[in-house]
Amino acid sequence: MQYSQSLTELSDAAAMDKLLEKEKKRFSGSEIKGKTLGVIGLGAIGASVANTAIDLGMEVIGFDSALSVEAAWRLSSRIQRAENLQSLISKCDFVTVHVPALPATIGLISSELLASAKPGLVLLNFARKEIVDTDAVVTALENGQVGQYVTDFPTPSLIGREGVILMPHIGASTAEAEENCAVMGAMQLIDFLENGNITNSVNFPQITLERAEGYRITFANDNVPKVLGTVLSLLADLNINVLDMLNKSRDEVAYTILDIEQEPNAELLSAISGVEHVFNVRAL
């Protein structure tokens, strides 16, 4: 595009056509059809990328150490599963990253991992800057292990470097996306306040339970054994029947939604709060 826009001195259309036909060999590339794409992180965005790549004729290998059942249902059955990152990166022509920046993912794309890459790998990072070790990428570009690095997180060490394609970080910078993000955030907050459901949290598990008859309690606790059992025993001792329940954990945090038959009173909520390792209780 930059080349075409630079042809300001040519006013003759026929001459421009002739020049463009002559120069097009400068911009020859390779097709993605038949190539193998590795997708690291198979949440909403990663799954969409993986499925689209399948539709474009690519082979797709995915890796997600915390793949939820809901996310798995979104994936094409043609997507292959990698046992680990080393296995994925060694087989792929392209690798794209779609994980949040958490302690476990910072520096995920490291020199050790890139050493296992298929030579000439095209690496794409539009997730978070901290996930990729930029120094490791520079070294891999210099030794040919990485052929190209495409990202919207420019850093001084990447500017002007051969094999690097940089662009501004403008994710979600459309009028539609900004409005959708605002509406989505508001709806998810309402769902949490009214029903205790959690969607798209960075530090709590994804959890949704349809309302049953009766009354709802939610509680959060340290992710250690016996907490849920203690709470259920407490309810049984008070002759309170559980109509429905869902418990999920993420790293150090566990979260439970309980639908019970009788309306919870202050005494019950206080008793649950008093269970060791419970740090939040709500009646909804």
Per residue in 123-179, pLDDT (tens digit) is 999 999 999 999 999 999 999 999 999 999 999 999 999 999 999 988 778 889 889
Q: Do 140 and 247 belong together in one domain? A: no
Radius of gyration of the chain (CA): 25
Domain end call among 134, 166, 198: 166
CATH number of domain containing 231: 3.30.70.260
Domain span including residue 51:
28-166
Q: What residues pair up with 221 in beta bridges, in sequence order?
A: 254, 278
Q: Do 162 and 181 belong together in one domain? A: no
Q: Do 124 and 193 belong together in one domain? A: no
**What count of other Cβ atoms lies within 10 Å of the Cβ of residue 282?**
16
Closest residue by Cα to residue 129 from 110, 95, 106: 106
- Three-class SS state of 154: coil
**Cβ-contact 37, 61 below 8 angstroms:** yes
136-142 long-range CB contacts below 8 Å, 24 or more apart? 136/109, 136/110, 136/111, 137/109, 139/111, 139/114, 140/111, 140/114
Instruction: Evaluate whether residue 10 is within a structural domain.
Output: no
Domain end call among 145, 166, 187: 166
Taking the alpha carbons at both ends of the chain, their separation in whole angstroms is 56
Q: Do 179 and 162 belong together in one domain? A: no
What is the structure's pLDDT at 24?
86
Which residues neighbour 274 within 8 Å (Cβ) at sequence distance 6 or greater?
none
What are the CA-CA distances from residue 10 to residues 16, 21, 25, 197 (Å)? 6, 14, 20, 61
What is the structure's pLDDT at 71?
83
What is the structure's pLDDT at 67?
86
Edge-to-edge strand ranges of the sheet holding 253-260: 242-250, 253-260, 215-222, 278-283
Instruction: Evaluate whether residue 149 is within a structural domain.
Output: yes
The length of the chain, given as a count of residues: 284
What is the structure's pLDDT at 7?
87
Q: Which regions of the chain are under pLDDT 70?
A: none
Tally the domains of the chain. 2
**Cβ-contact 125, 151 below 8 angstroms:** yes
Q: Do 187 and 156 belong together in one domain? A: no
Closest residue by Cα to residue 100 from 201, 169, 176, 192: 201
pTM: 0.76
What is the structure's pLDDT at 90?
97
Domain end call among 166, 185, 203: 166
